Structure 1
Amino acid sequence: MEKKLYDYSVDESFELYLLIKSADIRVAKNGKKFIAFTFQDTSGQMDGKFWDASEDEIASLTPGKIVNISGKRELYQGNPQIKLFKIRITKAGEPTSPELFIERAPLKKEDMMEELNETLFEITNANMNRIVRYLLNHYQKDFFQYPAAKRFHHAFVGGLAFHTISMLRIGKTIANQYEEINKPLLYSGIILHDLGKVIELSGPISTEYTLEGNLLGHIVIVDELITKACLSLKIDDKSEDVLLLKHMVLSHHGKLDYGSPVRPKLRESEILFMIDNLDATVTMLNSSLSRTEPGEFTERIFGLDNRIFYKPLSQDNEKNIED
């Protein structure tokens, strides 16, 4: 099997075709320009710096391009990175399609659509159901293609839908445990909470923040989308149903410091915040642990306060027993 980026060990050299996920032009202390790259293949993303870049190289080595790289895997402040020896754009006859290098959701689009549609029948509040269906229909294509983030969690094709499905599964388990929970409100909030990312982000390949994403953010964007849906559907956007739904979206980051304009003030909005955080956290951990040998620590995980996590030897032993 052909080795991927994360199949190489620290200090091991390689030559690989990789996708340029991002390319930020920066200036070094000596005044010369360099490119801070993020490269990607189906095993994950890794950063690397290209020093003393010429203007021609800056113009050609842009996000979305496939490049051939000679380099070595290193560790920098506990995080994996690439030490670049050589880099060039691919030639005729070499890989050129970004689709070959991007990660995808572990569930098929059709399976996620079916599971989401089944949930819609459990949203028995008429106004919430109409709003959710209206917005999903309007943004369906992008919803099932876009990532849930630029980098740290569910940053792959279909990541937004997969994150939503995963949260719905957790939400249903919690709702079945606590009968008092307003299921239509919780499920509606889960489905819509990150929908604004189809506008906040540029897409699944070489993902960047759009102008609206930078200036407004996905939380404000969804709030506006709900208002527009109410206008089209002739629903009073000041009714309690709509205000509750908007609050779910506006408070789902949990804290003002995390970007929410208001903290959770409903039982269901507090649950949404916790589910969102749980799913993102476990996904980041699973991603890092999958690239870590038993008995070793992960790289520092930026989204988890730059902490490192241990992968027990017993986990590998249990797998061997099952096999």
Structure 2
Amino acid sequence: MEKKLFEYTNDETFEIYLLIKSADIRVAKNGKKFIAFTFQDKSGQMDGKYWDAPEGDIAAFTAGKVVKVSGKRELYQGNPQIKLFKISVIKSGDSDNPDLYVERAPLKKEDMMEEINDTLFEITNANMNRIVRYLLNQYQKSFFQHPAAKRFHHAFTGGLAFHTVSMLRIAKTLADQYEEINKPLLYSGVILHDLGKIVELSGAIATEYTLEGNLLGHIVIVDEEITKACMALKIDEKNEDVLLLKHMVLAHHGQLEYGSPVRPKLREAEILFMIDNLDATITMLNSTLSRTEPGLFTERIFGLDNRSFYKPNESEKANEN
């Protein structure tokens, strides 16, 4: 069986098929163009650079294509990368289906749909329930296919829905522990907080930010979608239920410097911010630790202040018990 990208060790050479996740054209100090690639298979993503790339190859090797890559895994500033020897278009007869190289959510689409639909019955606030149902029905197909990010957390097919389900599970545990929490508000906020990524991101294969994503961002997009839902459902946008729900979305990044136009001013908004951050953090850690041998430090994790984390030897023994 052919090894996957992250199954190769440092300084090991390989020749495998990979999906071009992204291909950014840049100019080196010598004035010549190079391609900054991000390659991917089901084991994860890894960067590699094609120096002095001719115009023909720049046109040929674009995001979303499957290519044959010859190279070596090496470390650069604590992160794994590919030292590229050769890249070529795959031969006729070889599989060029990008879906075969894309990571997927660990839960089935049907199971995630059922879990989210069951939660809707716990949203007992009529206005919030109607808004959430309206938007989920409108964007259902994309919601269960889209990634939750371009690169760092839940950046795989179904990642947005899986991130939402994971956050709902945490939210329900907290709501059981702290009875004062407004469950309908918290659950509505969890389901809608990242819905705008359906518009912000292009999709799971060759994920890029759309024009709307770059100019508006997913927080503003969701806020606008709630407004549209209110108009369609004939709900007064100035109703307190709507204002509370909008605040949940607008404040879910927690800090102004992280992109939220307002900091949390509701108990449930503060909880949503913490749950979102917790789930993203654990997912980044789990993904990186899964590719790390016991007794070693992980690669640097950009989303966690470029820190490396140690994987104890005991973790391997614990899994055996």
Residue 258 of structure 1 aligns to which amino acid in structure 2? Y
1:88-127 maps to which residues of 2 (within 5 A)?
88-127=88-127
Q: CA deviation at 1:121?
A: 0.1
1:231-250 maps to which residues of 2 (within 5 A)?
231-250=231-250
3-state SS in 1 of match to 2:148: coil
- Equivalent residue, structure 2, for 1:17: 17
- Equivalent residue, structure 2, for 1:298: 298
1:41 aligns with 2:56: no
Structure 2 length normalisation: TM-score? 1.00
- Give the Cα–Cα distance (whole angstroms) in 2 for the partners of residues 73 and 10 of structure 1: 5
- Give the Cα–Cα distance (whole angstroms) in 1 for the partners of residues 108 and 315 of structure 2: 28
- Equivalent residue, structure 2, for 1:83: 83
Residue 266 of structure 1 aligns to which amino acid in structure 2? L
- Equivalent residue, structure 2, for 1:308: 308
Q: CA deviation at 1:54?
A: 0.5
- Give the Cα–Cα distance (whole angstroms) in 1 for the partners of residues 51 and 36 of structure 2: 9
- Equivalent residue, structure 2, for 1:144: 144
- Equivalent residue, structure 2, for 1:65: 65
1:161-310 maps to which residues of 2 (within 5 A)?
161-310=161-310
- Give the Cα–Cα distance (whole angstroms) in 2 for the partners of residues 2 and 286 of structure 1: 24
1:14-70 CA-to-partner distances (Å, cap 9, x unmatched) read: 001000000000001111100000000000000000001000000010000000010
Residue 120 of structure 2 aligns to which amino acid in structure 1? L
Residue 200 of structure 2 aligns to which amino acid in structure 1? E
- Give the Cα–Cα distance (whole angstroms) in 1 for the partners of residues 233 and 89 of structure 2: 50
Q: CA deviation at 1:2?
A: 2.0
3-state SS in 1 of match to 2:49: strand
Question: Mean Cα displacement is larger for which, 245-254 or 87-96?
Answer: 87-96
3-state SS in 2 of match to 1:45: strand
Q: Percent identity?
A: 80
- Give the Cα–Cα distance (whole angstroms) in 2 for the partners of residues 62 and 94 of structure 1: 18
Q: CA deviation at 1:248?
A: 0.1
- Give the Cα–Cα distance (whole angstroms) in 2 for the partners of residues 192 and 318 of structure 1: 37
- Equivalent residue, structure 1, for 2:2: 2
- Give the Cα–Cα distance (whole angstroms) in 2 for the partners of residues 97 and 90 of structure 1: 11
- Give the Cα–Cα distance (whole angstroms) in 2 for the partners of residues 237 and 39 of structure 1: 45
Residue 256 of structure 1 aligns to which amino acid in structure 2? L
3-state SS in 1 of match to 2:156: coil
- Equivalent residue, structure 1, for 2:128: 128
- Give the Cα–Cα distance (whole angstroms) in 1 for the partners of residues 101 and 301 of structure 2: 22
Residue 302 of structure 2 aligns to which amino acid in structure 1? F
- Give the Cα–Cα distance (whole angstroms) in 2 for the partners of residues 72 and 3 of structure 1: 13
Residue 88 of structure 1 aligns to which amino acid in structure 2? S
- Give the Cα–Cα distance (whole angstroms) in 2 for the partners of residues 94 and 71 of structure 1: 19
3-state SS in 2 of match to 1:257: helix
Unmatched runs of 5 consecutive residues or more in structure 1: none
Q: Which runs of 4+ in 1 moved over 2 A?
A: none
- Give the Cα–Cα distance (whole angstroms) in 1 for the partners of residues 57 and 91 of structure 2: 15
- Give the Cα–Cα distance (whole angstroms) in 1 for the partners of residues 95 and 35 of structure 2: 22
Residue 304 of structure 2 aligns to which amino acid in structure 1? L
Unmatched runs of 5 consecutive residues or more in structure 2: none
3-state SS in 1 of match to 2:21: strand
What's the RMSD between the two structures over aligned residues? Answer: 0.4
3-state SS in 1 of match to 2:151: coil
1:257-316 CA-to-partner distances (Å, cap 9, x unmatched) read: 000000000000000000000000000000000000000000000000000000000001
3-state SS in 2 of match to 1:308: coil
Residue 125 of structure 1 aligns to which amino acid in structure 2? N
Residue 225 of structure 2 aligns to which amino acid in structure 1? L
1:164-187 CA-to-partner distances (Å, cap 9, x unmatched) read: 000000000000100000000000
Residue 100 of structure 1 aligns to which amino acid in structure 2? L
Q: CA deviation at 1:94?
A: 1.1
Aligned length: 321
3-state SS in 1 of match to 2:86: strand
